[in-house]
Structure 1
Amino acid sequence: MADRTFAIAGVILASGMSQRMGTAKQFLPYKGMPLLEHAIRKLLPLPFAQIFAVVGKQHQARLAEIPIDDPRFRWVLNERNHEGQSAALQCAAECGKDCAGIMVFLADQPLLLPDTIRRVYDTAVEQLARGGERFVVQPAYADVRGHPVFFARGLLASFAMLEGDEGGKRVIKQAAAHHVIPVDDAGVLFDIDTPEDYQRLLQMSAGVAKGGEGE
């Protein structure tokens, strides 16, 4: 990639073992497609330079269920997904090595609004234009921070220090600036870890359908 000044990679973390769910939650159906496909398709309208979905070895046989026809998109195999979230984040950092930063998404947040994604993306570009290299952009709903999270390229090497099922909080603490965007979007916090979470999602979807509202 010749010019990476404002090139941002969108990276979806989807290599988890889904132990609390008991089945691969990334492929659970929601509104006619797998949850992971919803996550990928939310990124396609934005001008990401590259889009990656980080998956585990156990998911390889099912990737054909999600046809994505976009030259920017690529599957990335996390060979160490049994080690926990740290390995997935390290894959994400590697994905962004040729970009100005990475915007990290979770595969199980289907209620995330497109406007939230756009606001995080636009804020990241604004900060890059000001010369920022070690900053984070993160949405917050009701003062609670969620996903997606943008990490500028100056922070990507710090992901190497993470271990086990550790998330990105230690990397965020190393940021020179942390830009938090208040959003009216509970989808930045709502993810699907258990069968009860999934049933709640389906019930909410059914309630919206009965109310005559679309997505």
Structure 2
Amino acid sequence: MGGIIGILLAAGASRRFGADKLMHVLPDGDPVAVRACRNLLAGCDGVLAVVRPGSDELAARLRAEGAKVLICDDADQGMAASLSFGISACPSAAGWLVALADMPWIAPVTISKLADALRSGAEIVAPGWQGRRGHPVGFTQVLRPELMALTGDSGAKAVIQAHADWLRIVDCDDPGVIRDIDRPEDLNNLNSRKPL
């Protein structure tokens, strides 16, 4: 996989949600993770979805969308384990857009803008909405060693903090970049354009 690859982190345990939130069906019939995957595919050169063991139905649905799907046996070690696993699986990429599978409302145009920013020379990119930094976050190949060394459940926050001067915020009119699903109440007001 070359170019800008979307890494869809879909290996969480949904503990706060109380059920498999990634397969929860949105009003239009798409499961949460399928919608997130489809949006990511629309703006990247390819998508690698990282799932946890036993997520057979989720894996099948994401493959049907066109993503490459890999199972991370170490998913219970935290988000960083899934992230470094995904990065290691596509080492020839020029860069990666790291997206969370519980964020189904990010507009494809936003993802395209972020991928274009990586292609045009940004080392780290993230969307901004009304002064708030959101997701997905993109990294170029130069940061691969640091991304591969991550541990714990804080994702790539340490890499971003270590290179804050490299971060390019791409302003967008997209509240979906800050809107995720942790608990069932986060699904309220699905048709609203305002963040929960």
If the length of structure 1 is used for normalisation, what is the TM-score?
A: 0.81
Counterpart pick for 2:36 among 39, 61, 64: 39
Deviation at 1:67, TM superposition (A): 5.2
> Which residue does the alignment assign to 2:53?
57
User: Are 2:181 and 1:192 equivalent residues in the alignment?
Assistant: yes
> Which residue does the alignment assign to 1:165?
153
**Contact 1:92-1:102 at 8 Å conserved across structures:** no
**Contact 2:129-2:175 at 8 Å conserved across structures:** yes
**Cα deviation code 1:61-99 (max 9, x no counterpart):** 5433455254xx310111111111111111222133111
Deviation at 1:27, TM superposition (A): 0.5
**Contact 2:99-2:137 at 8 Å conserved across structures:** yes
> Which residue does the alignment assign to 1:86?
80
Secondary structure at the aligned position of 2:168 is classed as strand
The number of residue pairs the alignment matches comes to 191
Secondary structure at the aligned position of 1:29 is classed as coil
> Which residue does the alignment assign to 1:139?
127
**Contact 1:92-1:104 at 8 Å conserved across structures:** no
Provide structure 1 residue ranges, at least 5 long, that are not aligned to the other structure: 209-215
Provide structure 2 residue ranges, at least 5 long, that are not aligned to the other structure: none
If the length of structure 2 is used for normalisation, what is the TM-score?
A: 0.88
Q: CA–CA distance in 1 between the matches of 2:150 and 2:63?
A: 32
- CA distance 1:177–1:26, change in 2 (3 Å): same
Structural RMSD (CA):
2.0
> Which residue does the alignment assign to 1:211?
none
Deviation at 1:177, TM superposition (A): 1.4
Q: CA–CA distance in 1 between the matches of 2:148 and 2:186?
A: 31
> Which residue does the alignment assign to 1:122?
116
User: Are 2:61 and 1:106 equivalent residues in the alignment?
Assistant: no
Moved >6 Å (runs of 4+): none
Aligned-residue sequence identity (percent) comes to 31
- CA distance 1:45–1:204, change in 2 (3 Å): closer
Q: CA–CA distance in 1 between the matches of 2:146 and 2:19?
A: 32
Q: CA–CA distance in 1 between the matches of 2:44 and 2:13?
A: 30
What amino acid does structure 1 have at the position aligned with 2:100?
A: L
> Which residue does the alignment assign to 2:90?
96
